[in-house]
Amino acid sequence: MAVIEFINASNNTYKGMKRAINYIKNPLKTAEYLTGGKDCSPDTAYEEFIMTKQNFNKEKGRQFIHFIQSFSPNDKVTPEVINEIGKRLLEHEVFKDFQVLYATHTDKEHLHTHFIINSVRFTKGYKWQLSKEQLESVKEYSDELCKEYGLIVVDGEKGKHKNRGEYRATDKKQSWKYELYLAVKHCKWCSRSKNEFIKNMNKLGYKVDWTDERKYITFTTFDGKKYRNRKLYPPEQFTKEALFKAFELNKQKADKKQLEASMELLLTAIGMISKDNSNKYNSRLSLTALEGQAKKERAIEETKGRGLNWENEK
């Protein structure tokens, strides 16, 4: 299980930044080989961060960003693998041109990696900004990495990320797009082939135009709205190549009956949401309503062993 948590630092100054850097490099919590830097050296990260700020005259305001990627004690994995996952997480586009110091801590029952990001981009001097959509994308990428390494993937710790995935539902102009995104994501991990993917999307009410002649896949909603896979965010996770890669992974992780059970459980949960008059979401946004909702957990418990949670897929 990997949970991404951003820490609000009360003392976000040069002094606070140095304290945070010293904390994550504390030899009582980590080892030198579990400490690394993206576009900076772990030994001189503090000085390099300051130099970047001075180069662009961006020495005021927020100085650093601190976040943690935590894993469950139930994940039987070594600190080296957790460190590698953290390093690969920084390949996400939101971290491009930002200096990042990271260290995997082994002092707690659960392994976790700390990240300290310089608040100023070293190429153009832009300050760090992270939209809700980008935050969701980082979490999704973290989940993809966990899946690749065979780790457990869940929604997060109880009470955290409660509204994960629901932020777009408040915008009626965008909610159908987010609902489509959820449908594609679910079918991506419940299918072992292109044909199974299309069939599962059909079950959720979507038409799929996927041909070899066209570069992009076009999805059509129940009311005729069309949307291409290149517009789903992040687009690199929904290319034809990425989908085929997921299908191959599914073949390795589960047999056909397990994936069919996953899809059936999802449809059962959707039926529960659609029949619930207290549901604040439109019945056509049932997947959005399932995101982070207790009903999803109850549906899983009531049909335990039927497969939706075969890798605790969200």
The reply to whether 191 falls in a domain is yes
C-alpha distances (whole Å) from 23 to each of 20, 101, 104, 128, 295 are 5, 12, 12, 22, 40
Q: How many domains does the chain have?
A: 2
pLDDT: which is higher, 66 or 310: 66
For residue range 265-297, list pLDDT tens digits in order: 888 878 877 666 555 555 577 887 776 454 444
For the chain, the average pLDDT equals 82
Q: What is the pTM of this model?
A: 0.53
Q: What region does 305 belong to: left with phi over 0, alpha with psi -120 to 50, or beta? A: left
Residue with tokens 């915008």: 171
Does residue 53 sit in helix, strand or coil? helix
Same domain assignment for residues 233 and 265: yes
For residue range 125-135, list pLDDT tens digits in order: 999 999 888 89
d(CA 86, CA 114): 9
CATH, residue 8? 3.30.930.30
Question: Which of 160, 102, 98, 103 lies closest to 129 in space, CA to CA?
Answer: 98
Same domain assignment for residues 135 and 221: no
The reply to whether 154 falls in a domain is no
Say what the pLDDT of residue 25 is: 96
DSSP structural state of residue 229? G
Residue 3 backbone phi and psi in degrees, to 5: -120, 125
Q: What count of Cα atoms within 13 Å lies in the side-chain half-sphere of residue 307?
A: 22
Q: What angle do CA 313, 222, 136 make, to 5 degrees?
A: 35
Residue with tokens 């772990």: 42
Identity of the highest mean pLDDT range in 70-84, 142-156, 203-217, 261-275: 203-217
To the nearest whole percent, how much of the chain has pLDDT over 90?
52
Question: Which of 100, 82, 94 lies closest to 21 in space, CA to CA?
Answer: 100
The whole domain housing 206 covers 167-302
The reply to whether 228 falls in a domain is yes
For residue range 201-211, list pLDDT tens digits in order: 999 999 999 99
d(CA 80, CA 68): 16
Say what the pLDDT of residue 2 is: 79
Say what the pLDDT of residue 159 is: 32
Does residue 31 sit in helix, strand or coil? coil
Same domain assignment for residues 93 and 30: yes
